[in-house]
């Protein structure tokens, strides 16, 4: 058998002799079916150019037999595993016992659980899973949000090294609540440098991991964008130091959810790039940071965006919006966005070459 250069590189980098966990994960999230055979088909399709598989189907996780069969197949195929878990009382079995058993069974191949999707986004948009619907002020709001969210994820930390979520806002407070990693959503018309700066800045302040999940660009077919754009987003996340790069896959529009041969081609291209360019991982770092006032839960989608979903934009919102966009024009993806929180401000001050504060003039 003849091995290609990229195959040899992959073997050397991903599967080193010490058996240590990889520094970077790329994979797909399966969310479109409750059929184990569909899980297996997607695993077989993607396993040669990914190292992570996220079981995001509630239908699979509600069925313990199906979940176990799916997890076995994922791990037996050589992929690391993350499982989406919803409210524990909705299961017919004890998900905490299952998690402990899964960790023992799969070892390091079981990375952890994905718990509570888009907590910050639900709060900003007053969505169906909103955590807090009343607060006296921003500080009261931040305390309630982080405390309530911590309750939802803390039990999973008894068996899982990683509790992860995906979000499109309020990343800082996700980390403050205790998440070990947050995936910023690359989709719609979201500014990649802005959301990278928000998510990476929070992760660095709390000494945690971060990643990106490529989500919908459109509300209907094809949902996700082209091969070239998908590859560009995955590469952007990798070069900016993400630990995870995941492609969201829902609903069903073809044999493999919404993913086409072009999308799998992008994953193959990216896999080859990663294994040929390990030195490019994290080559772009946050070198400067914009510092927001403590507990200022601004949505950052436009100048009039809400604060914590409960308050309209205030007298500071326009300035913050303008400041951040001015700095993005100057620094691009080298800008992180953090908060003036005494809990982590010491680490923040030591990390960056320069800090820009909300209460100074930015030009």
- 54 contacts 250 by C-beta, under 8 angstroms: no
Which parts of 178-308 fold into alpha helices (H)? 192-205, 227-239, 261-276
pLDDT at 218: 87
Q: Is the pLDDT of residue 6 over 60?
A: no
Q: Is the pLDDT of residue 212 over 60?
A: yes
100 & 246 share domain = yes
219 & 126 share domain = yes
323 & 238 share domain = no
102 & 83 share domain = yes
pLDDT at 67: 99
307-317: pLDDT as tens digits: 999 999 999 99
User: Which of these ranges, 15-19, 34-38, 266-270, 294-298, has the smallest mean pLDDT?
Assistant: 15-19
From residue 316, alpha-carbon distances to 30, 121, 308, 356 in Å are 41, 21, 14, 15
Say whether 328 sits in a helix, a strand or coil: helix
Angle formed by the axes of helices 5-14 and 261-276, to 10°?
70
332 & 239 share domain = no
Of 198, 243, 233, nearest to 224 (Cα)?
233
39 & 161 share domain = yes
Say whether 360 sits in a helix, a strand or coil: coil
Whole-prediction pTM:
0.94
189 & 85 share domain = yes
Q: What is the mean pLDDT of residues 327-333?
A: 98
Averaged confidence pLDDT in the chain: 94
337 & 215 share domain = no
Cα dihedral 162, 166, 170, 176, rounded to 10, equals -10
40 & 79 share domain = yes
How many domains would you assign to the chain? 2
Q: What is the mean pLDDT of residues 18-35?
A: 90
Distance of CA 65 to the CA centre of its chain: 28
Q: Is the pLDDT of residue 21 over 90?
A: no
- Select from 280, 313, 341 the last residue of a domain: 280
Domain that holds residue 115: 23-280
189 & 307 share domain = no
160 & 305 share domain = no
Question: 54: which 2 tokens?
Answer: 């996220």
């Amino acid at each position: 058998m003849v091995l290609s250069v990229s195959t040899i590189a992959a073997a050397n980098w991903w599967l080193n002799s010490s058996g240590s966990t990889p520094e970077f994960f790329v994979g797909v999230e399966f969310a479109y079916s409750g059929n184990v055979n569909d899980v297996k088909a997607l695993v077989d399709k993607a396993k040669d150019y990914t190292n992570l598989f996220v079981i995001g189907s509630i239908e699979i996780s509600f069925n313990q037999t199906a979940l176990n069969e799916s997890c076995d197949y994922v791990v037996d195929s050589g992929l690391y595993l993350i499982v989406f878990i919803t409210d524990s009382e909705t299961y017919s079995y004890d998900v905490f016992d299952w998690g402990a058993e899964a960790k023992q069974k799969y070892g390091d191949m079981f990375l952890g659980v994905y718990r509570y999707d888009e907590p910050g986004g639900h709060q900003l948009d007053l969505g169906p899973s909103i955590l807090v619907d009343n607060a006296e002020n921003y500080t009261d709001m931040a305390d309630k949000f982080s405390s309530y969210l911590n309750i939802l994820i803390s039990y999973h930390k008894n068996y899982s090294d990683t509790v992860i979520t995906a979000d499109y806002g309020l990343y800082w407070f996700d980390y403050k609540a205790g998440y070990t990693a947050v995936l910023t959503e690359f989709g719609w018309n979201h500014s990649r440098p802005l959301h990278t700066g928000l998510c990476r800045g929070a992760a660095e302040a709390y000494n945690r991991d971060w990643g990106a999940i490529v989500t919908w660009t459109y509300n209907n077919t094809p949902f996700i964008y082209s091969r070239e754009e998908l590859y560009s987003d995955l590469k952007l996340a990798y070069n900016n130091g993400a630990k995870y790069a995941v492609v969201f896959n829902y609903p069903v529009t073809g044999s493999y959810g919404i993913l086409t041969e072009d999308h799998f081609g992008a994953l193959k291209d990216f896999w080859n790039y990663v294994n040929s360019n390990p030195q490019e991982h994290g080559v772009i770092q946050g070198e400067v940071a914009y510092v927001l006032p403590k507990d200022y839960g601004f949505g950052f989608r436009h100048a009039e965006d809400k604060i914590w979903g409960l308050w309209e934009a205030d007298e500071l919102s326009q300035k913050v919006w303008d400041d951040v966009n001015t700095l993005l024009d100057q620094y691009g993806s080298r800008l992180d966005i953090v908060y003036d929180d005494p809990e982590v401000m010491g680490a923040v001050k030591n990390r960056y070459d320069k800090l820009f504060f909300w209460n100074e003039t930015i030009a």
